[in-house]
Amino acid sequence: MTHQHSGRLRKAVFAIAAVVAVAAGTASAFASTSAASAQTTTITVAVNGNDANAGTVAAPLKTIQAAVDKAVPGTVIQIRGGTYAPSTNIQVNSNGTAGAPITMRAYGTEKVVIDGENMPYTPGAVDSSIPRADRGALHVEGDFWRFERLEIVHGPYAIFALDASGNVYDRLVTRDNYESGLHIQGASANNTILNLDSYGNRDPRKNGESADGLAIKEGSGTGNKVIGARLWNNADDGFDAWEFLSPIRIEDTAAWGNGYNYWNLPNYSGDGNGFKLGGGDVDPPANHVVVNSMAWKNSAHGFTDNGNPGSLQISRSTAWKNGKTGFDFDSSTSTLTANLAVNNATPVALGSSTGSGNSWNIKSSWVDADLANTSAAVVTGARAADGSIASTNFLVPKNYPNLGATFA
C-alpha cells in the first residue's frame, strides 16, 4: 500500500491516535505535575526524599519502587530530576486500567536518569544467562502503564516487559545498557512505543549477538505500534521482531549504524540489520507493516524479512548505504511500494515478493547525486518540540519527492 506523508500534521495525528487507542479517557495522565485531579492520586519521588514520607511535593518518597508499590489505577508517579541508582531493578507488577492507567514520568521538564550500573548482571559473565526477574533496570509485568520522559542507562536491559499489554512508552531514552534498550516479550498486545531514542546498547555476555535498540520478540499480541523511534549504534539490530507471531506496525522510524563493534568486544557477533522483521528456529509467519521509515549505514541489511515467510507490507521507506541488501524480502511474499534503495551493497532481493513504484522499478541505477540531502545531522540531532523527528529533506530524491521516506 502507498503512504502519503504530510509532515508535522500527519505525525501529530498518528501520535494522538496511538495514545488515544491505548489509553482512552486518560486526561488525568496529562494533568499538572504540581496538582492532582479528584480522580487521580499523585505520588512524588525525589533523590533527597524519604520512603517514610507522604509522597507529596513537599515530602517526597526517595525510591521509585516505593512509589510503584503504592500505585493504584489512575496514580501519577512524578519523579523529580536527578539520577536514581538502585541496587536492584524496579519491579512493575501491578495493573492500571484502560480508563485509568498508572503513569510514571519526569516532573515537569526536569531530567530523570535511572542508572542500573549497581544492579546484578551489569554485565553478566560471557555465555551466562540473566534470570528473568533480573532483566531490565525497569522490569515490567503490569498492564496499562504510561512511562514518559525517562532516561534509562547501564541496566541489564533498560526496560524488559513480559506479558505486558496496553502500555505506552513515550519519549524515553534507553542508552548504553548491557542488553537491549527496550525489550517486549511474551503475550504482549496494544503497546505503543512513541518517539523512543535507543542507542549504544551492547551485550558483552553474548559478544554483541542480542543487544538491540528495540526488540518485540518471542511472543504474540496484536496492536503493537512503533512511531517515531530512532535506533542507532546498537550491537545487534536496530529493531528486532525475532519469533514474534503477530503483526507489528512501524511508522516514521529511523535505524542507523547498528552492528559495528564500537566496544571492542571479543568474538563479536552482532547482526547489524536496521529492521529485522522476523526469524526463528522455525521461521513463523507474521505480517508486519513498515511505513515511512529509514535505514542507513547498518552493517547488514536495511530492512529484512529474516526468513519470515509471511506477507509483509513495506511502503515509502528508504535504505541507504547499508552493508548488505537494502530491502531483503526473498523469504516472504511481501508487497513493497514506493520504497527507495540507494548505494547499498545490493539494492533489493525479492524472491516471491512483489510491488510497484519502487526505485528499482523506476530506474536501475541510483546514486547520491539523485538525493536532495545526504547529511543526517537534522535527523540525528535534537527532536522537535512535540518529540517527533525534526523536519528535514534528508534522503529525499530530487525528482521523485514521493519516493521513499521523508521527515519533511
Question: Which residues share a beta bridge with 200?
Answer: none
Q: Find the CATH number of the domain harbouring 211.
A: 2.160.20.10
pLDDT of residue 296: 98
State mean pLDDT over 76-98: 98
Instruction: Give residue 362's domain range.
Output: 7-380
State mean pLDDT over 290-296: 98
Q: What residues contact residue 110 under an 8 Å CB cut-off, 6+ apart?
A: 79, 80, 81, 82
In degrees, rounded to 5, the angle at the alpha carbon of residue 197 between the alpha carbons of residues 196 and 198 is: 110
pLDDT digits (tens, 9 = 90+) for 41-65: 999 999 999 999 999 999 999 999 9
> Please, which pLDDT band fits residue 27 given cuts at 50, 70 and 90?
very low
pLDDT digits (tens, 9 = 90+) for 166-207: 999 999 999 999 999 999 999 999 999 999 999 999 999 999
Do the domain assignments include residue 397? Answer: no
Do the domain assignments include residue 1? Answer: no
Residue 11 has pLDDT above 50, yes or no: no
Do the domain assignments include residue 354? Answer: yes
State mean pLDDT over 362-369: 96
Spot the catalytic one: 206, 217, 225, 276. Answer: 276
pLDDT of residue 19: 39
Residue 6 has pLDDT above 60, yes or no: no
Residue 3 has pLDDT above 70, yes or no: no
pLDDT digits (tens, 9 = 90+) for 12-26: 433 433 433 434 333
Domain count of the chain?
1
Do the domain assignments include residue 401? Answer: no
pLDDT digits (tens, 9 = 90+) for 147-171: 999 999 999 999 999 999 999 999 9
C-alpha cell at 290: 513498515
pLDDT digits (tens, 9 = 90+) for 262-276: 999 999 999 999 999
User: Residue 349 corresponds to which amino acid?
Assistant: A
Residue 235 has pLDDT above 80, yes or no: yes
Round the average pLDDT of the chain to a whole number and report it.
92
Cα 172 to Cα 164: distance, rounded to the nearest angstrom: 17
% of the chain residues with pLDDT over 90: 89
Rounded to 5 degrees, what are φ and ψ at 294?
-130, 145
Cα 209 to Cα 229: distance, rounded to the nearest angstrom: 21
Q: How many residues does the chain have?
A: 408
pLDDT of residue 377: 98
pLDDT of residue 408: 87
Do the domain assignments include residue 291? Answer: yes
> Please, which pLDDT band fits residue 40 given cuts at 50, 70 and 90?
low
Which strands form 224-227's sheet, in the order they lie side by side? Answer: 42-45, 76-79, 102-106, 145-148, 168-170, 192-194, 224-227, 248-251, 289-291, 313-315, 335-337, 354-356
Do the domain assignments include residue 406? Answer: no
Do the domain assignments include residue 272? Answer: yes
Do the domain assignments include residue 97? Answer: yes
276 classed as catalytic? yes
Residue 30 has pLDDT above 70, yes or no: no
In a 10 Å sphere around its CB, with 0-12 CB exposed, 13-18 middle and 19+ buried, how is residue 38 labelled? exposed
pLDDT of residue 331: 97
